[in-house]
Amino acid sequence: MTSLAGSQSVCRYGHRYAWRPTARGTCARRSCNRRVLVRAEVSKQKVVAVLYKAGKAAENKDLLGCVENELGLRQFLEEQGHEYVVTDDKEGENSELDKHLEDANILISTPFHPAYLTKERIEKAKNLKLSITAGVGSDHVDLHAAADSGMTVAEVTGSNVVSVAEHVIMLILSLVRNYLPAHKQITDGGWDIGAAASKAYDLENKVVGVVGTGRIGQLVLARLKPFECSEVLYFDYKHLGEDKEKELGCKFAEMDDLIKKCDVITVNLPLTDKTKNMFNKELLGKMKKGAWLVNTARGGICERDAIVEALESGQLGGYAGDVWNPQPPAEDHPWRTMPNHGMTPHYSGTTLDAQARYADGTKKMLQNWFDEKDFPEKWYIVREGELAEQYK
């Protein structure tokens, strides 16, 4: 709570209030624990969104997550008197992001073109009270620095989990069936059935491992069940429980056991201090030779050069995903040219259906913030100095 001249103050939401002391000295909100406040007016908020440029593709107005279509928020915000700045320029001290962060109240970003909110940027952004991830995954924010500053960090939890889970299954099949090299034959004018079929397998009767069984991981497990794999194993820091394991057709395995047994492994973990570079040279060396690895979680979970080396040596039979570190990757990033890969831009969680969900969730989050209403608990990543359990 910041005091103004006279008898008004500004709360963490950026609203001005008139003081009205009470006999008990209590307050209607946890953030103001000494007096009841009478709302005088909603102050103008500066909202900055960092999104990707879509160019001609933006003619499709359902492509909400781009600079041109602005998450569909401009009219909503400006009609309430707020300022809305949208940019894709996010790198370097002279970027548009850095220019506007100095007096921004709210920052919106996505996992697909993330605005890296570092400790240094947080320290400069004196007015920044809320960081929203339009989507799922807030590792582009220095969460410890955000917690120390008192900032709220929230994301539209669940908005794109189906999209990512479907993408995981697609990538698993593309690797196991040797689809990408076979397709490239055709685009290159070739026709070599032997080369395509010599590395093509069925998913049936394979051992599949799911590392991370949050919302996405559980949806992946459900979608694997019809393929009649010989065994589906999972690892997470928390067990699913016997009933859920039976429902999803899987069983728990310690990481070392899962790594050694599986023909296919999919990574569905958040990027945290614990999971950074988790799939390093040592761990990859324990996998079955020629196994396939899918990563739609975060690029930083897999050690960049170790993945390249494992593919070149044949320790990995293939690697596919859409997440990089950083994003966008440099033109000479080695994952662009390594053998037997199925890498794409980060788009698994930003289908048009997902964009509609996370744009709507962002709008609801903003309205709650302006109205001083709490978010659904599952949306909070940092709240009142505390990190959500998955990021601790």
The letter for the amino acid at 290 is: G
Catalytic residue, chosen from 160, 218, 268, 340, is: 160
**Residues with Cβ within 8 Å of residue 249, at least 6 apart in sequence:** 221, 224, 225, 232
Does 304 participate in catalysis according to the annotation? no
CB 218 within 8 A of CB 248: yes
- CA–CA distance, 105 with 278 (Å, rounded to integer): 35
Does 127 participate in catalysis according to the annotation? no
**In the β-sheet with 130-133, what is the strand arrangement from edge to edge?**
83-87, 46-50, 106-109, 130-133, 152-155, 380-383, 386-387
Does 69 participate in catalysis according to the annotation? no
* Residue 49: half-sphere exposure toward Cβ, Cα within 13 Å: 27
Does 160 participate in catalysis according to the annotation? yes
Catalytic residue, chosen from 100, 140, 341, 346, is: 346
Instruction: Compute the Cα dihedral for 195, 197, 203, 207 and give only its sign.
Output: negative
DSSP for 249-278 reads: T-EE--HHHHHHH-SEEEE-----TTTTT-
- CA–CA distance, 198 with 149 (Å, rounded to integer): 56
Integer angstrom CA distances of residue 228 from 170, 208, 251, 309, 353 = 16, 11, 14, 32, 29
Catalytic residue, chosen from 298, 315, 325, 340, is: 298
Does residue 308 sit in helix, strand or coil?
helix
Provide the annotated active-site residues. Answer: 160, 298, 327, 346
